[in-house]
Amino acid sequence: MPSDRTTLNCPACSLAMSRQEFERNYGSVVSIDICHACGALWFDQWESLALTPGGVLRLFVVINDNRPAQRNPLGSNLACPRCHARLLLTTDMQRNTRFQYWRCPAEHGRFITFFQFLREKNFVRPLDAAEVERLRLNVKSVTCSSCGAPVDLNVGSVCPYCRAPLSMLDARQVDTVVQQLKQEQARRDEANRGPIDPSRFARLTPDGRLDKTATLFSDVPFGVELSGGIVEAGVAALVDLLKRME
């Protein structure tokens, strides 16, 4: 189904969304509509599945660089930006991770928060008991990366509003994406297509894996000021690393 590429309004806040192009599989590009105020994405049909590993990392940079001081709450009555039908809240499963999004009943596309997108791509994992305890001893309260509500760590490690467990960026999955980028680069070199944008690579050791700097992902909850959520702090650390490696 061809899509109308006129500017779309956010299903949640009705503000004009920003359209960005990202690398997709087979050497073409995909346009994704982003509401930075809500921290959410609109995908026409299955665009999220078409993103290359490099496209996913560039999306990290775009989201982080345009993060608002305070994210808009989404509310419960969301409308399709194309046909204006009410979007349907849907729960799906990727590997062993549940994630949620809102889909158009006429199949025009789907609306998903960046946090849920990270869950879909297996980029986040719940904190274990030891990490929760270390976090509680240092910061007492954090912001839920799913809905933006405060979470009192003296009460528990699950958001009292949306029931999402406190989660963090998983360095192992980031490493997996970097490995996929290396394989993609090798295929491009073989086909003489030229290099991938180097800003999409983190620093690699001789064996081709993330260097020890990657431990900052697991240390993020305990070594930074958490003005936002733990996942957001991890994304900011990843983006900082990518930019320093340009």
The predicted structure's pLDDT at residue 176: 79
Q: What are the tens digits of pLDDT across the range 139-150?
A: 877 888 888 888
pLDDT at residue 78 is higher than 60: yes
The predicted structure's pLDDT at residue 110: 94
Tell me the torsion sign for CA atoms 169, 62, 39, 103: negative
Which region, left, alpha or beta, applies to residue 148 given φ > 0 means left and ψ of -120 to 50 means alpha? Answer: left
Token pair recorded at residue 66 = 């345009």
The predicted structure's pLDDT at residue 245: 63
The distance between the two most distant Cα atoms of the chain, rounded to a whole number of Å, is 57
Where helices occur in 11-76 by DSSP H, the ranges are 47-50, 53-65
In the chain, where are the structural domains located? 18-120, 124-171+206-244
Contact yes or no for 199/242 (Cβ under 8 A): yes
The predicted structure's pLDDT at residue 122: 84
Helix, strand or coil for residue 233?
Answer: helix
CA–CA separation, 54 and 232 (whole Å) = 19
Q: What are the tens digits of pLDDT across the range 5-39?
A: 678 999 999 999 999 988 877 667 888 999 999 99
First to last CA, the chain: 38
Spatial CB neighbours of 222, under 8 Å, sequence gap ≥ 6 = 134, 135, 138
